[in-house]
Amino acid sequence: MIRFEKVTKSYPGPGRAALESVSINVDKGEFVFLVGPSGSGKSTALRLVLREMRPTGGKVFVAGKEINRLATWKVPRLRRQIGTVFQDYRLLPTKTVSENVAFALQVIGASSKEIRTAVPETLELVGLADKSARMPEELSGGEQQRVAIARAMVNKPMILIADEPTGNLDPATSAGIMGLLDQINTAGTTVLMATHDYGVVDQMRKRVVELAEGRVVRDEATGVYGFQH
Amino acid sequence: MQMRHVSTNLRQGLRRNLSMHVAVVLTLFVSLSLAGMGVLLSKEANLITRALGNELQVQVNLCVRDYPGNPSCVGEVTDEQKREIVRQIEASPEVDSFYFESKEEGFERLKVLLGSEQFEGTTPLVTVKDIPEAIWITLKDPDESSGIVEALQYLDGVGNIQNARELIGPISSMIDGLTYATWALAAVLLAAAILLVANTIRLAALARRKEIEIMRLVGASRIFIALPFLLEALVNAAIGVALTGGVLAAFTKFGIIDGLDAQFDALPFIGWPEYWETLLLVAVAGPVLTLVPTLLLTRKYLRL
């Protein structure tokens, strides 16, 4: 589903490359943790999957397509197959919970009928059906992250990219979010999650790819966070 | 595409940056009005040139019976006299080109100049047979006409010679000056309008950065993200063009038709046909001047 072939990414200016000859293969339906210290290249890898940037060398494949050769006008279509969740939720403060979720469908031209069906279904999935009319500021951090997950999933993407989704949450709330991501993965969505949170990695016992200084230093099928222990 | 979403965004965008939009509309309105007046003035200059010739032209009126002010004209110019006149013209190094104007063509030109109503009815000002045939000479240099004038003025068959430069030089210079001044001012103001458009987009992009970031991530198309900005630019252009249309209409009606045209019979003046032609140009230029920078700048500021 996601494949990096000897991917290198350098930013302008001096210093080492953010990623150096990284090769990773994530199969359909897999749940993969991308771990490593700050500056190890996790976020760069996620941004390459989203075609936020192009690699300096090597190839990135998503759903069988080499996306660094993808025409710019085709990038939105690629992104519709990928849901994205961030540490800071990135909800629109002037919209209600359901409006935030509906927004993701409105802006890709979905019909009102589709939106009326998909939004309540997705809010049900994330356990927020009863809070659809609330504003984001009225929700806890965990609930806000659930809204962000609902917005990422409402279009039923094949891949879910999560960049430190539990970074702002306490351990109990994090466990709830991880349970939800696991549920989404079990339903068939490929999940690629960058994290510093060794608690959730150790608890989930999923595949762990560790990056250090832009290189893959570990790839275990059922790993733990590793260097924290 | 969700038109309700687009229209809501458009309303919000216009409200959020109201003062900037007002500034864009006003600058666009003033610059388009000046540019429009420049176009009208150049049309006026063309009209005068068509009727009276341009500065390079010398009009040689040939004899008719009882030519006013020239007792040597005892009758219509003869073919032999015409041949001699043409020979002199062809021999002159000052002449670039020349052409004949028949009595009928001269009559039509006079009707344009003075208004056709004066040549109709039972007591017309003049009739076709009173109009002299003419030769229109185009000079190589407007400052050098003395040689050809001297060569022709005492020839038999020549009624009189009018140097267009003496007649329309001051008028042409004034109109040209006004035209260039309005265009120069319009260009400066249009540059200001484009910079205001750029600032408006930058402010709007900043105000909506979170929303735009989410739109990009969930796969909204580039045109969908840019559409509210393009529509805002279009609304600004439409208001600017409408205001300009009003000002140019007032200028045409009160300044030209009821003003100059009513007072000066000796010169032809532009009217509503020229107004509509100019308005069409303004109606195209307004949207182009706002949409093109918007298209280019949304790519830059929205990272599309």
Inter-chain CB proximity A107 and B5 less than 8 Å: yes
Backbone phi, then psi, for A213, in 5-degree steps?
50, 45
Q: Which two tokens stand for residue B99?
A: 């052409």
Across the interface, which of B2, B214, B219 has its CB nearest the CB of A76? Answer: B219
**Residue A167 phi, psi dihedral angles, 5° rounding:** -60, -30
Residue with tokens 């004066």: B118
Consecutive H or E run containing A185: helix A171-186
- Contact between residue A154 and residue A101 where contact means Cβ atoms under 8 Å apart: yes
Token output for A215: 């290189």
Q: Which residues of B touch A162 (CB under 8 A)?
A: none
What angle, 0 to 180 degrees and rounded to 10, lies between the N-to-C axes of helices B3-16 and B222-250? 60
- For residue A78, give how far its alpha carbon lies from the nearest alpha carbon of chain B (Å): 7
Report, as ranges of residue numbers, the positions in chain B whose pLDDT lies below 70. Answer: 1-2, 51-55, 265-266, 303-304
Tokens at B76, concatenated? 């219509």
The minimum CA-CA distance between B211 and chain A, rounded to whole Å, is 7
Residue A147: per-residue pLDDT: 95
Q: Which residues on B lie below 8 Å from A104 (Cβ)?
A: 214, 218
Whole-angstrom distance, CA of residue A118 vs CA of residue A110: 10
Is the distance from CB of B138 to CB of B90 less than 8 angstroms? no
Is the pLDDT score of A1 beyond 90?
A: no
pLDDT at A229: 43
Q: By three-state DSSP, how is residue A68 classified?
A: helix
Give the separation between CA B149 and CA B160, rounded to whole angstroms: 10
> Which residues of chain B neighbour A78 with C-beta distances below 8 Å?
219
pLDDT, mean of residues A23-48: 91
Chain centre distance of CA B304:
39
User: CB-based contact (8 Å) between A53 and chain B?
Assistant: no
Q: Which of B210, B211, B220 faces A108 most closely, judged by CB atoms?
A: B220
The beta-carbon contacts of B265-270 under 8 Å, at least 24 apart in sequence, are: B265/B114, B265/B115, B266/B113, B266/B114, B267/B48, B267/B51, B267/B113, B267/B171, B268/B47, B268/B48, B268/B50, B268/B51, B268/B112, B268/B113, B269/B44, B269/B47, B270/B40, B270/B43, B270/B44, B270/B47
pLDDT at A228 over 50: no
Q: What is the pLDDT of residue A59?
A: 92
pLDDT tens per residue across span A36-61? 888 888 999 999 999 988 999 999 99
Residue from A107, A108, A116 whose CB has the most chain B CBs within 10 Å, to mutate: A107
Of residues A72, A104, A112, nearest to B218 (C-beta): A104
Q: Average of pLDDT values for A154-178?
A: 90
- Look at residue B41 in the predicted model and tell me its pLDDT: 87
Of B7, B218, B221, B302, which to mutate for an interface test with A (greatest number of A Cβ within 10 Å)?
B218
The ipTM (two decimal places) reads: 0.86
Neighbours of A162 (CB within 10 A): 27
Do A80 and B219 count as a contact with CB atoms less than 8 A apart? Answer: yes
Residue keyed to tokens 């960058």? A194
Q: Determine the Cα–Cα distance for residues A161 and A50; give it in Å rounded to an integer.
A: 9
Terminal-residue alpha carbon distance, chain A = 31
Chain B's closest residue to A113, CA to CA, is: B2
pLDDT digits 0-9 by tens, A84-108: 999 888 999 989 999 999 999 988 8
Residue A73's identity, in one-letter code, is W
Residue A61 phi/psi, 5-degree rounding, is: -110, 135
